[in-house]
């Protein structure tokens, strides 16, 4: 065919390899980011799972408490939640 066809085909090798490496790199970055976000979400729930903030005074109250020790607001126990 054309004399330049061989040269183009030879050039397509490294270029395709670079494109493949770029795609693989992007996929790796996305996977690592998703895994890190999932681990971080599990690692830091923000507060103790056994404590809930009082709607009135904002004090952290145990889920098992019947009333807020700060303001006396009746709390609804949510066991298992």
Residues near Zn ion (CB under 5 A)? 54, 56-57, 59, 68, 70-71, 73
Nearer to Zn ion (CB atom), residue 22 or residue 70:
70
> Comparing C-alpha atoms, which of 64, 69, 39, 44 is closest to residue 54?
69
Nearer to Zn ion (CB atom), residue 33 or residue 50:
50
> Comparing C-alpha atoms, which of 9, 46, 19, 70 is closest to residue 62?
70
Radius of gyration of the chain (CA): 29
Nearer to Zn ion (CB atom), residue 32 or residue 57:
57
Least Å distance, CB 55 to Zn ion, is 8
Least Å distance, CB 61 to Zn ion, is 7
């Amino acid at each position: 065919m054309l004399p330049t066809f061989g040269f183009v085909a030879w050039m397509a090798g490294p270029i395709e390899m670079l494109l493949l490496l770029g795609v693989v790199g992007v996929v790796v970055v996305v996977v690592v980011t998703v895994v890190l976000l999932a681990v971080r979400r599990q690692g830091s729930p923000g507060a103790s799972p056994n404590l809930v903030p009082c709607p009135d005074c904002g004090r952290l109250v145990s889920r098992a408490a019947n009333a807020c020790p700060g303001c006396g607001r009746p709390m609804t126990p949510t066991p298992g939640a």
